[in-house]
């Protein structure tokens, strides 16, 4: 009857239909996303360091944990990479030069932090320092990824030795604590400035491009 004829026609039509195009969505991970991820990590480290610094300064005790404690920078502390560069001079550098400076500084600061981690006396503080070191290592790798994605070479040499070279022990406990104080202070300044660097950089580089690709099969 008519019903059987319609059914037969539909079956034949379906069997002879070409395969439908397959819709694939792929995201090209480029410099824009790498910069965004590095910016996010920098802001996370800023937040993480605020808690860590408060805990560590309390561990050092007075006067280091006092809010108005602002000692002059000692010659010993000059080995720690300083972020106290004129902002206009810093902004006048090329993107490559700023990225390289960040990469070298965090590699060096990470070395000092790892030494610090092995010297603290409480298990909880060692755990926090180890977690922060892992995050900072991730930032070093992330900055290296941004440089590669932009076509910049990494600074010569390894990311950093296991211990800072030429860093003899402080002659007394107070100077050792002063070294630790300046390490945390410089870290805070570097992270603050790096967040601004990557925020400006991500505005210059377009975000990751999402492309839709049609794969036609059966034609």
User: Tell me: the pLDDT tens digits for 94-130?
Assistant: 999 999 999 999 999 999 898 887 777 788 899 999 9
Instruction: Tell me the two tokens of residue 149.
Output: 């994605």
Q: Quote the CA–CA distance of 129 and 83 in Å, as a whole number.
A: 21
C-beta of residue 83 within 8 angstroms of C-beta of residue 189:
yes
pLDDT tens readout for residues 7-38: 444 444 444 434 333 333 333 347 888 999 99
- The residue extents of the domains of the chain are 28-159+169-204
Q: What is the predicted pLDDT for the residue at 207?
A: 63
Task: Report CA dihedral (177, 180, 184, 186) to the nearest 10 degrees.
Answer: 110
Cβ burial of 214 (10 Å; 0-12, 13-18, 19+) is: exposed
Q: Quote the CA–CA distance of 205 and 53 in Å, as a whole number.
A: 33
**pTM (two decimals):** 0.75
Higher pLDDT, residue 84 or 181:
181
Q: How many CB atoms lie within 10 A of CB 73?
A: 14
Structural fold of domain 28-159+169-204 = Growth Hormone; Chain: A; (1.20.1250)
Band of pLDDT at residue 205, cut at 50, 70 and 90: confident
What share of the chain in percent tops pLDDT 70? 69
Cβ burial of 25 (10 Å; 0-12, 13-18, 19+) is: exposed
Average confidence (pLDDT) over 53-70:
92
Angle, to 10 degrees, between the axis of helix 31-60 and the axis of helix 123-149? 160
What share of the chain in percent tops pLDDT 90? 43
């Amino acid at each position: 009857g008519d019903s059987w004829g319609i059914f037969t026609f539909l079956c034949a039509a379906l069997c002879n239909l070409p395969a439908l195009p397959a819709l694939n969505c792929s995201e090209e991970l480029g410099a824009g996303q790498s910069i965004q991820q590095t910016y996010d990590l920098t802001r996370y480290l800023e937040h993480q360091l605020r808690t860590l610094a408060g805990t560590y300064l309390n561990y050092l005790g007075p006067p280091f944990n006092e809010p108005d404690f602002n000692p002059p920078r000692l010659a010993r502390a000059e080995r720690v990479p300083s972020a106290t560069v004129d902002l206009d001079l810093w902004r006048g550098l090329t993107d490559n030069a700023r990225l390289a400076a960040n990469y070298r500084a965090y590699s060096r600061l990470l070395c000092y932090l790892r030494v610090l981690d092995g010297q603290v006396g409480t298990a909880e503080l060692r755990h926090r320092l180890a977690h922060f070191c892992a995050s900072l290592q991730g930032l070093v790798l992330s900055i290296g990824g941004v440089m590669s994605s932009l076509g910049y070479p990494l600074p010569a040499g390894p990311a950093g030795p296991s211990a800072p070279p030429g860093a003899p022990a402080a002659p007394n406990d107070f100077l050792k604590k002063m070294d630790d104080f300046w390490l945390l202070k410089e870290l805070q300044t570097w992270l603050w400035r790096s967040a601004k660097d990557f925020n400006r950089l991500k505005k210059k580089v377009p975000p990751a491009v999402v492309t839709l690709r049609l794969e036609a099969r059966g034609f």
